[in-house]
């Protein structure tokens, strides 16, 4: 184990190539629209698209792990998780910010139902479907950050079987119970 740590160098060609292959493998599905626009037979397009979606990420990931070795893989994993930890908001948010975040969340849910069940009710949706959905997904992510760290903990608790709701027993005004 100590021998591996001494040999590991994040500036070596093996590490750089392994990191490139790892990233390239996960970017491969983004090339599917290019393949579908090529002047090829349908069966060839289907095979290439399937390979880019299912085969390429796994193959390039395995090749990258072979090049990186355990120390390189652990190094990348630790860097990625440290970036994710910094991205998660911490602490409390104001009541106004929380209500604004809930409003954005509800608007996103309503928009999602409308686009699925009644897309004709949304002006310009047919012409700009992809753009509008990308904007809506971006706003959903922004909403999670507006709601703050405590909301993330509530969201995380949904996936924990033993988690219990901790509702304060203080007297609640009628307007506070709504939002």
DSSP string covering 41-61, please?
A: -HHHHHHHHHIIIIIHHHHHH
Q: Give the domain range for residue 110.
A: 95-166
Assess if residue 173 is contained within a domain.
no
Assess if residue 19 is contained within a domain.
yes
What DSSP designation does 123 have? T
Does this model's pTM top 0.85?
no
pLDDT tens sequence for the chain (179 residues)? 444 455 677 888 888 999 999 999 999 999 999 999 999 999 999 999 999 999 999 999 999 989 988 888 888 888 888 887 777 777 788 889 999 999 999 999 999 999 999 988 888 888 988 888 899 999 999 998 889 888 888 888 889 999 887 877 775 555 555 55
Assess if residue 178 is contained within a domain.
no
**Dist CA 153 CA 165 (whole Å):** 11
**Structural domains of the chain, count:** 2
């Amino acid at each position: 184990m100590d021998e591996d740590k001494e040999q590991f160098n994040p500036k070596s060609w093996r590490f750089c190539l392994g990191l490139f292959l790892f990233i390239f493998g996960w970017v491969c599905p983004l090339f599917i629209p290019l393949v579908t626009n090529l002047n090829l037979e349908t069966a060839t397009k289907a095979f290439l698209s399937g390979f880019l979606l299912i085969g390429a990420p796994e193959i390039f990931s395995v090749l990258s792990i072979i090049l990186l070795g355990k120390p390189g893989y652990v190094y990348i994993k630790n860097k990625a998780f440290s970036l994710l930890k910094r991205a998660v908001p911490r602490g409390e948010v104001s009541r106004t910010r929380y209500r604004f975040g809930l409003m954005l969340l509800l608007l996103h849910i309503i928009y999602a139902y409308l686009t699925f069940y009644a897309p004709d009710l949304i002006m310009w949706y047919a012409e700009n479907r992809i753009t509008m959905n990308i904007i809506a997904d971006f706003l959903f992510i922004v909403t999670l950050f507006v709601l703050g760290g405590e909301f993330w903990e509530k969201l995380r608790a949904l996936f924990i079987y033993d988690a219990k709701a901790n509702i304060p027993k203080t007297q609640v005004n009628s307007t506070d119970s709504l939002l």
